Amino acid sequence: MKRRHDTPEQIVRKLREADHLLGEGTPLVEVCQHLQVTEATCYRWRH
């Protein structure tokens, strides 16, 4: 399976959406599923 690479603009958009969802109290696992990324990717993008 070929890896999908997100552009920097897509990453920023997804991180903003993640912040919004987390602010509403959605668990990180559900946020990552919604964004179609792994938890490890979420953590890596934050750093």
pLDDT per residue as tens digits for the range 1-47: 667 788 999 999 999 999 999 999 999 999 999 999 999 999 999 88
pLDDT at site 4: 74
Q: How high is the pLDDT of residue 31?
A: 94
Residue boundaries of the structural domains of the chain:
8-46
Say whether pTM exceeds 0.85: no
pLDDT given at position 1: 65
CA distance 13 to 19: 10
Q: Select from 20, 22, 24, 9 the least CA-distant residue to 39.
A: 22
Structural tokens at position 27:
């668990």
Per the rule left: phi > 0, alpha: psi between -120 and 50, beta: everything else, 37 is beta
